[in-house]
Amino acid sequence: MKGFKRIRNIATAALLLSSTTLLAQTATGTINAVLINKSAIALVFDSDPGGVTLGGATTSAASVNLGTVSAFGPLSPGVTRPTVTAGNYTVQTLFDVQVIQGGLTSSSYTLSAQLAAAAPTGFTYAIDAVTLTTAMQTIQSNGAYNADVQHALNLTVSTDAPGAGGPAVGTPLTTTINFTATSN
């Protein structure tokens, strides 16, 4: 029996040693991946230090709240009143557009904008010096990529009475402006 126990112990030791060797083995493999690089641009709106803080800043769908506006009296922070005449007044805020590019040989872009629907009676919108309509119009033709470019949103309000070309008083105003950046 002693001989049998000794053979069994040697066999067990050999089995343990061989299983340790099995655990230390490695395997290798390869994955072949295909990548197609496409060039693209992205447009994002950023708050400008001199303007209203944008809702949804750093995205392509930002919003601006000008607050309550009038020809006289206080305005919200970041809103200015550059002109007041007998027939209208203009309020303005600054915002930044950043067009990010990748994989392009283009050194600049063209920025265009349009109103999604006609402006309500008594209101005129402009980006910088370009009065907006429902037709796409060029705002800037040589925009620099990957940097904030400052623009001004101008809202001109007629002081005529409602029904005589002026806007309804006390009614919240919502307007959508669509922007397009095109690589040059």
Query: Residue 26 falls within a domain, yes or no?
Result: no
Residue 2 pLDDT level (bands cut at 50, 70, 90) = low
The model's pLDDT over 111-143, given as tens digits with 9 standing for 90+, comes to 999 999 999 999 999 999 999 999 999 999 999
Looking at the structure of the chain, the number of domains it has is 1
Cα separation, 132 vs 53, whole angstroms: 22
Cα separation, 7 vs 2, whole angstroms: 9
Query: Residue 161 falls within a domain, yes or no?
Result: yes
Which residues span the domain enclosing 97?
Answer: 40-183
Per-position b or e across 57-68, b if 16+ CB within 10 A of its CB: beeeebebebee
**Coil, helix or strand at residue 36:** coil
Query: Residue 22 falls within a domain, yes or no?
Result: no
How far from chain centre, in Å, is Cα 87? 36
Residue 75, domain CATH: 2.60.40
Residue 35 has pLDDT above 50, yes or no: yes
Query: Residue 9 falls within a domain, yes or no?
Result: no
The neighbouring-strand residues paired with 88 are: 158
Residue 20 pLDDT level (bands cut at 50, 70, 90) = very low
Query: Residue 8 falls within a domain, yes or no?
Result: no
Q: Which two tokens stand for residue 132?
A: 């907006």
Query: Residue 21 falls within a domain, yes or no?
Result: no
Query: Residue 127 falls within a domain, yes or no?
Result: yes
In the chain, the N- to C-terminal Cα span, in Å, equals 93
Q: What is the largest CA-CA distance in the chain?
A: 120
Query: Residue 95 falls within a domain, yes or no?
Result: yes
Q: Which residue has the tokens 């669509």?
A: 178
pLDDT of residue 7: 53
Q: CB atoms < 10 A from the CB of 90, how many?
A: 18
Strands 137-143 and 149-158: unpaired
